Amino acid sequence: MSDSLIFPMGKFEAQIPTDRQYSENHLWVQEGAGGFRVGFSAYSVRLLQDVYFLDWDVEADTQVKRKQEIGQVESSKAVSSLYPPADGRIVHFNDLLLDDPSTINTDGYGQGWLYHFDTEGRFMSAEEYVEFLATKWEETQRLIKGQFND
């Protein structure tokens, strides 16, 4: 992997590779053949913890909107809805994850990618994303502590 920035998450660190861009909903996007490859940032994987189920509500080759629910991910922490990083078209999914989504936990910036996406959307650089995380970290810690105290 190329150079990475580090975002401290208490006792843990989230690696934020500088060779891709990021969205406010904690997805990475990397431009390549077939549009953008999309996956969970290390920050989101750390918050989800062990991902063990993934399901899509839309088919490949579907136009989607940024706030449209496109699927769900289930982890040891919660069931979470999935949303695209911008308006665009889901080209195709990483079918390997449907059989074994644990690759998201072990190789989130490699084989654990979610789908290819065609978009005109704008995204944050790694540096901008780390700054964004810093503005949200205090609130995130309160939410995490609230989950443990429920």
What phi and psi values does residue 64 have, to the nearest 5 degrees? -135, 160
37 DSSP β-pair partners: 30, 116
Rounded distance between C-alpha atoms, residue 120 and residue 41, angstroms = 20
Confirm if 29 and 123 have CB atoms less than 8 A apart. yes
| pTM for the model | 0.87
- DSSP annotation of 59 reads -
Q: Give the model confidence (pLDDT) of 49-84 as tens digits.
A: 889 999 999 999 999 999 999 999 999 888 999 999
Average pLDDT, the chain: 89
Q: Which domains does the chain have, with CATH numbers?
A: 9-143 (2.40.50.100)
